[in-house]
Amino acid sequence: MATDIGPPDFRAMLPEVIKKNYGKWKYHEILRPGVLKHVSEDGDILYTIRVGSPRLLAIDTVRDICDIADKFCNGHLRFTSRHNIEFMVTDESKVEPLIQEIRNKLGFPVGGTGRCISNIVHTQGWIHCHTPATDASGVVKAIMDELYEYFVEEKLPAKLRISEACCGNMCGAIHCSDIGIVGMHTRPPSRIDDENFLTWCEIPTTLASCPTAAIRRHTTEDGKKTVRIIEERCMYCGNCYTVCAAMPIAHPEGDGVAIFVGGKVSNAKTPPKFPRLASPWIPNNPPRWPEVVSAVKNIVEVYAKHARKGERLGDWIDRVGWPTFFRLTGIPFTEKHIDDFTGALATYRTSTHLKL
């Protein structure tokens, strides 16, 4: 039913074969990385070709994608929650020509299904966001260039999901991925622009934005009303800069990247779980972030070598124990790995049983 409020009805945009068999799919199988075959209860067959995309797309690229969908898929395509493009065809004879057209016209890889790395979901980073501690698309590009083989070939024990958030607000959902990369501010917004503060900001709103009450009123020697930071209370979240442009938090030396491991959304075999800290801080080193890329690749390769078939990263760590994870990956265990949050007692291991 048409409406001028909210998004359009998604059912109006589905391919006819999906409309016909909605809720009636019997099974699917992965023919090879990036190519899935879906079979309905009525015997109808649908082939899905999954393609990795860089998420940030030029208009010309979007037009090329739409041209391919018009040529092979009757104008239908979809994007997954991890920025993969999926083309859907009912005719098996179109699968290979479609893949060749994707490679020749778009230059994008086909893969990301089954025991592969899927596309990395990420936030805006330096291209758009106002509080990032690192870039998003640049880091992801550098990592996936290095891990390309794991996207196009099934070389892993199980699916592997990687995500990146460019700051601690985590709109990149790193809290539910096998490997989570998050930008970290380590210094408070001390470079406050007192000259323009009252022009750009409201003091009450700025004070209220801080979740730890780390901002206090301040008057300069020449009588200007402004604010200052109580540094021991600051948690480097950047909320104050969101409401007050006179309080930039980005710092070329203080900003870096942390890596978390072991999260997942899936309820298969084991319940969903949050990740835990692996590397507390890695420096920003654009444009290729070699330290971050090396750290992520190391974790992936150790997991690929030691985990059992079908075992997600977090399940493997639970089986062998965190001491073994740190020993195999060579990541040093420091005091930064010990949670000092006031409510952390509920998550502490209180048993003497520990896997070594």
Q: Which residue has the higher pLDDT, 158 or 171?
A: 158
Give the pLDDT confidence score for residue 130 in this predicted structure: 87
Q: What is the pLDDT of residue 243?
A: 94
pLDDT at 197 over 60: yes
pLDDT at 340: 75
User: What is the distance between the alpha carbons of residues 270 and 312, in angstroms, rounded to a whole number?
Assistant: 10
More confident residue, 9 or 233: 233
Burial category of 112 from C-beta neighbours within 10 Å (exposed 0-12, middle 13-18, buried 19 and up): buried
Q: What is the pLDDT of residue 57?
A: 92
- The band of 355, judged by pLDDT with boundaries at 50, 70 and 90, is low
Eight-class DSSP state of 103: I
* Pairing outcome for strands 215-219 and 77-79: unpaired
Section 256-273 average pLDDT: 93
What is the mean pLDDT of the segment spanning 198-206?
96
pLDDT value of residue 10: 86
- Please give the angle made by the CA atoms of 319, 322 and 324, to the nearest 5 degrees: 80
**pLDDT (0 to 100) of residue 8:** 83
Sheet holding 256-261: strands in order across? 121-122, 162-165, 179-184, 256-261, 276-283
Band (175; pLDDT cuts 50, 70, 90): confident
Distance CA 245, CA 232 (A): 22
CA 56 to chain centre: 14
* pLDDT per residue as tens digits for the range 9-50: 888 889 999 999 999 999 999 999 999 999 999 999 999 999
pLDDT for residue 206 is more than 90: yes
Predicted local confidence at residue 63, as pLDDT: 97
2 pLDDT higher than 70: no
pLDDT by residue (tens digit) across 285-319?
Answer: 999 999 999 999 999 999 999 999 999 999 999 99
pLDDT digits (tens, 9 = 90+) for 86-142: 999 999 999 999 999 999 999 999 999 999 999 999 998 998 888 899 999 999 999
Which residue carries 């998004």 as its tokens? 7
Arithmetic mean of pLDDT over the chain? 93
Yes or no: say if 62 and 55 are a contact pair by the CB < 8 Å rule.
Answer: no
Q: Does residue 179 surpass a pLDDT of 60?
A: yes
- Per-residue pLDDT at 356 exceeds 70: no
pLDDT of residue 1: 53
